């Protein structure tokens, strides 16, 4: 995403104690937030996060994003064409935060709504 391609989002959240809140977000801020979530997530949470991030990717994107780090997730077998890539707990051990950042950056360009849905109010701030 180029610096001049800023896309603003207005996200509404409802907290049981503080009520509704409006958050103005810039799409450029979302990939680092998602990578920070991944860095602090447990193994099963990482699996869920990656599976949600991978949904909008086709086979070509899987083998090109993050220098092909997700290419090994391509389904195989006779019905592979109709199945989505699925991440296992073992996969999360080999996929680092930098690769997830590259994936999140790609998803931000393809379908930023996926990243908006993943980010939450108490997500850690990305490192500066």
What pLDDT score was predicted for residue 28?
76
pLDDT digits (tens, 9 = 90+) for 45-94: 999 999 999 988 888 888 899 999 998 888 776 766 656 778 999 999 99
What b/e string do you get for 90-128 counting C-beta neighbours within 10 Å, with b at 16 or more? ebbeebebebbbbbbbbbbeeebebbbebbeeeeeebee
Instruction: Taking residues 110-120, report their average pLDDT.
Output: 75
| Residue among 123, 114, 7 at smallest CA distance from 54 | 114
pLDDT range class, residue 120, cuts 50, 70, 90: low
| Residue among 58, 59, 27, 48 at smallest CA distance from 100 | 48
Phi, psi of 48 (to 5 degrees): -60, -45
Q: Which residue has the higher pLDDT, 37 or 26?
A: 37
pLDDT range class, residue 2, cuts 50, 70, 90: very low
pLDDT range class, residue 122, cuts 50, 70, 90: very low
Query: Does the model's pTM come out above 0.95?
Result: no
Q: Is residue 62 classed as helix, strand or coil in its secondary structure? A: helix
What pLDDT score was predicted for residue 53?
92
The conformation of residue 8, written as its DSSP 8-state character, comes to E
- The overall average pLDDT reported for the chain is 79
């Amino acid at each position: 995403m180029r610096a001049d391609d800023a896309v603003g989002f207005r996200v509404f959240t409802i907290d049981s104690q503080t009520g509704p809140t409006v958050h103005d977000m810039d799409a450029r801020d979302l990939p680092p937030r998602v990578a920070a979530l991944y860095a602090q997530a447990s193994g099963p949470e990482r699996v869920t996060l990656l599976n949600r991030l991978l949904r909008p990717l086709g086979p070509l994107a899987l083998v090109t994003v993050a220098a092909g780090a997700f290419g090994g997730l391509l389904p195989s077998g006779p019905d592979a064409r109709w199945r989505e890539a699925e991440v296992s707990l073992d996969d999360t051990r080999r996929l680092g935060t930098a690769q997830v950042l590259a994936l999140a950056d790609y998803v931000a360009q393809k379908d930023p709504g996926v990243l908006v849905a993943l980010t939450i109010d108490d997500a850690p701030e990305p490192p500066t």
